[in-house]
Structure 1
Amino acid sequence: MSTTTAQPRWLSDEEQRAWRAYLRGSRLIEEALDRDLQAHGVQLTEYEIMSMLSEAPGRRLRMSSLADLVVQSRSRLTHTATRLERRGWVVREACLQDKRGVELVLTSAGFDAVREVARVHVESVRRSVIDNVPPELFSCLGDAMDAIRKALAPDGGAHPAVVEEAAAHEPAN
C-alpha cells in the first residue's frame, strides 16, 4: 500500500457552480414540495411511500424493496410506516410469496388519501419545478439524474413488480 496520497480531482469553476446550484436547488425543491403537502397533513416522505404503493400490483410492496425504491433506510421507512398505520392508510402483512418478509399494503383509505393529495403534489411540482425550467432543460435534468441513478443504483432501486407495472401504464409508441 502506498503512503502517498493522490490529489483529489478538484472541481473546475463551472463544475463547482453547477454542483452548488444543484445542492441549493434540490433542497429548495424538497422544502417547497414538503411545505405544500404538510399544509394538507402529509409529509413528502409519506406521500412518496403511499404513491409507490398505489402504483404497485395489489398496492403492496415488501418493506425492504420499498425502502430501496424511495431511497430511505429501513429504520426510517419503519418509522414512517408506523405514522401511516396510525392514520389507517397502510397495514403491514406477511409477504404473499414467502411469509418471512413483511409487506406494506395501502388500505382503501390510504388510496383515497393519496389520490386527493396527488392533486396538491402535482401542482406543487409544476409551480416549484416545471414552470420554472424550459422543457429542453427539464429533459436534460431528467437525463442527467437518470445517468446518476444508473451509476449509483444500477438495478434502478425499484422492485421488479413496480417496474413491470409502470411499463404496463406507459403509452404505446
Structure 2
Amino acid sequence: MNDSPPWLSPVEERAWRGMLRMHDLLVNQAGRTLQSEFGLSATDYSVLAELTRTPKGRLRILELAKVLGWEKSRVSHHIARMAKRGLTDREECADDGRGAYVIVTPAGREAITNAAPRHVEDVRRLFLDHLSPGQITLLAEITDTVIGKIDI
C-alpha cells in the first residue's frame, strides 16, 4: 500500500510557493525600513506590537511565545537582547514564582510609537494597495481559517 501523500497540483504548488515568497518579500522590505530608520528589526517590532496591544504593556513569556508562534527559548533570547537595548524588561509574576512577565519599557513604547506610522505606510504600499477590498476580506478569511486549524 502506498502511504505517500498526493503531490501538489501545479496550482496548489503555485499558491504555496507564492505565499511563502510573498511573505519573505513583505517581511524583508518592511524590515529594512524598520531597521534603517528606527533601529528595530522586524522581530523587535512584532514583540513591541504585541506588548503594546495589552492594557498594561505586558504578557507572560508563554503567552508572548504563543501569540508570536515562537518557541519559549527564542522569546527568552530575543527579549534578553531587547532588554539590553532598553526596549523591554522582565517582571517576576507575583502569583507564580516560576513565571515572568515581559514588559514594554518607556523606550520601547517610544520606539514603536515612532515606527508604527511608517510601518503602516509600508504595509499599505507593499501589500494592501495592490488588492481590492474583496481580496483583502477573502485573504483575511483564508488566514483566519488556516491559523485556526494549526494554531495550538
TM over 0.5: yes
Q: State the secondary structure of the residue aligned to 1:103.
A: strand
2:71 to 66, 70, 73: 73
Return 56-65 or 94-103, whichever deviates more: 94-103
Query: Which sections of structure 2, spanning at least 5 residues, go unmatched?
Result: none
Return 139-148 or 14-23, whichever deviates more: 14-23
Q: CA deviation at 1:81?
A: 0.7
1:14 to 6, 11, 25: 11
Runs of 4+ in 1 over 4 A off after TM superposition: none
Counterpart amino acid of residue 11 in structure 1 = L
Residue 135 of structure 2 aligns with which residue?
137
1:31 to 8, 28, 32: 28
1:148 to 114, 124, 146: 146
- Measure the CA separation in 2 of the matches of 1:7 and 1:115: 50
- Measure the CA separation in 1 of the matches of 2:128 and 2:104: 29
Does residue 1:83 correspond to 2:81, yes or no?
yes
Residue deviations 1:26-76, cap 9 Å, x none? 111111111111112100111110111111131110011101111112122
Counterpart amino acid of residue 26 in structure 2 = I
Does residue 1:63 correspond to 2:61, yes or no?
yes
Residue 162 of structure 1 aligns with which residue?
none
Query: Which sections of structure 1, spanning at least 5 residues, go unmatched?
Result: 155-173
Aligned residues: 151
- Measure the CA separation in 2 of the matches of 1:20 and 1:129: 17
Residue 113 of structure 2 aligns with which residue?
115
Residue 97 of structure 2 aligns with which residue?
99
- Measure the CA separation in 2 of the matches of 1:7 and 1:60: 45
TM-score in terms of structure 1 length: 0.82
- Measure the CA separation in 1 of the matches of 2:140 and 2:95: 34
Counterpart amino acid of residue 89 in structure 1 = L
Higher relative contact order structure (alpha carbons within 8 Å, sequence separation ≥ 6): 1
1:53 to 45, 51, 54: 51
> Alpha carbon RMSD of aligned pairs, Å?
1.4
TM-score in terms of structure 2 length: 0.92
